[in-house]
A = this chain, B = another copy of it.
Amino acid sequence: MFWHDFDNIIWGDLMQNTQFQFSKLAGKLKSSMIRELLKYANVPGAISFGGGTPDPETFPRHELAQIAKEIIENEYKYTLQYSVTEGDPELIKQILILLKRVYDIDRLSNENVLITVGSQQALELVGKVLIDPGDYVIVGDPEYLGALSAFRMRDTQFLVVKFDDDGPDIDMVKQKIKQLDDSGQIEYLKFIYVVSNFQNPSGITTSLEKRKALVEIAEQYDLLIVEDDPYGVLRFKGEMLPSLMKIGGVERVVLLNTFSKILCPGLRIGMIVADKPIIRKLVLAKQGTDLCSPSLTMRLTARYLERYDVLEQIKPAIDLYRKKKDTMVKALEENFSDIIGAKWTNPEGGLFVWFTLPKSFDTMEMFRFAEENKVFYIPGEAFKPFEEPSSSMRMSFCLPSIEDIHEGVKRLRDAFDKYRSYKGL
């Protein structure tokens, strides 16, 4: 009898019965709150503002199906074989074209790009190559959860700056850096991380003025900036601002991006654009991490980009998201305008509205009232670099229908009222 079923043995028991130990890193790993909370969102009749996944109806499935068949038949020596660690050169070629079109960034070559398995791997590799345990990184409050998880795995110390309506609080950035400099620890500050357009979770875009200020600070202290821009192309109105990389140059800024939002997430194509010596190190780190990305998904993306204009293809999706965002903002106005201190962002693009209740409320505490009403959101606490309560929530408008957005916000108001009377406020 070799096999035992551990179904009934819980974690703690296993640990008692054996000397066997996990690493300290494993001890710190926790399931993301989003992941845990979204398990509730599958109940019948539920309306979820939780997930940040794009609408699958926006994916160009017929085109991708046709191309996939062709490239497996005809390019099988590439698509079914190991690739080089750097990524498919055909895809990098297309990415260089897009960098020029989207960001007006040129003079880059293949050695400035690494293809990753989604932008989560980009974040993880950046952490490996730049961060030693105990090093500092400047992040926002709130901040993108995936970045926090990736950097936490490197035992990063977060210097947290408030994220205002127009991006990071620049005075706080300066103050945090000055404190480090005064205490002789500036060398341990590795970079400033910022999601520059329609930040996840807040929907906020960093203003041109603040972009310039961040680059100036980075130059003054010889720091890197890691700019993450998965949503920039999903702009509903207004003009795109120059990226931090455009302002600061490739020697100052590392740019992360992904095709998950403008093409589809299932191919897991992310990228890092950076100075060549940094890419070289990242390639080595990826070699030990997963050897190479799947050739098939890289070549599929490359051939798609070659044949179709992804920036045109995404336009109907952007129109749809604009309508849904407008609906959500209108529903919030209709349902929460009477609540003094309640406010919400009105993003010019992206997938998220950031909805903040008056300070005395805690959206994690309110979650069970929302759950009873079958409406789901992500409590702001999930996006705090340090564990602390939050009166905000992230509300994604990309997946629910127009009708469900109306209905969901109504349910949310009802949940809020129940929570408010429970709190006796």
Contact = CB atoms under 8 A, between A and B. Distances in A.
A22 interface: yes
Contacts of A20: 222-224
Given A31-B284, A117-B117, A288-B153, A19 B83 contact: no
Interface string A97-126: 000000001111100000011101100100
Contacts of A284: 26, 29-31
Interface stretch (A67-75, A160-168, A325-333, A348-356): A67-75
Contact of A120 (B76, B120, B288): B288
Interface residues of A, number: 104
Contacts of A291: 118, 120, 146, 268
A351 B83 CA distance: 19
Contacts of A7: 109, 276
Contacts of A187: 19, 21
Contacts of A18: 222
A50 to B, nearest CB: 13
Contact of A153 (B73, B108, B128, B132): B128
A5 B111 CA distance: 11
A179 interface: no
Contact of A82 (B4, B70, B266, B280): B266
A128 B268 contact: no
Contacts of A288: 29, 120, 124, 146, 149-150, 152-153
Interface in A224-253: 224, 246-251
Nearest to A119: B291
Contacts of A422: none
A126 to B, nearest CB: 10
Contact of A130 (B22, B35, B59, B281): B22
Contact of A121 (B6, B35, B65, B289): B289
A125 to B, nearest CB: 9
B129 A22 contact: yes
B22 A124 contact: no
A294 to B, nearest CB: 4
A26 B129 contact: yes
Contact of A277 (B11, B72, B281): B11
A84 to B, nearest CB: 9
Contacts of A190: 21
Contacts of A249: 2-4
Contacts of A106: 3
Contact of A72 (B65, B70, B77): B65
Interface in A183-212: 187, 190
A287 B31 contact: yes
Contacts of A61: 72-73, 76, 80
A24 interface: yes
Nearest to A83: B266
A116 B289 CA distance: 11
Nearest to A29: B284
A293 interface: yes
Nearest to A265: B82
A296 B297 contact: yes
Those 3 A-B pairs whose CB atoms lie nearest each other, nearest first: A65-B72, A29-B284, A80-B266
8 contacts: A3-B105, A22-B130, A62-B73, A80-B265, A82-B265, A82-B266, A146-B288, A267-B294
Interface of A: 2-7, 11, 14, 18-26, 29-32, 35, 53-54, 56, 59, 61-62, 64-66, 68-70, 72-73, 76-83, 85, 105-109, 116-118, 120-121, 124, 128-132, 135, 146, 149-150, 152-154, 187, 190, 222-224, 246-251, 260, 264-268, 275-277, 280-281, 284-285, 287-297, 300
Given A21-B187, A53-B81, A80-B264, 12 more contacts: A7-B109, A14-B275, A64-B80, A65-B68, A65-B69, A81-B264, A82-B266, A117-B294, A146-B291, A153-B288, A267-B296, A268-B295
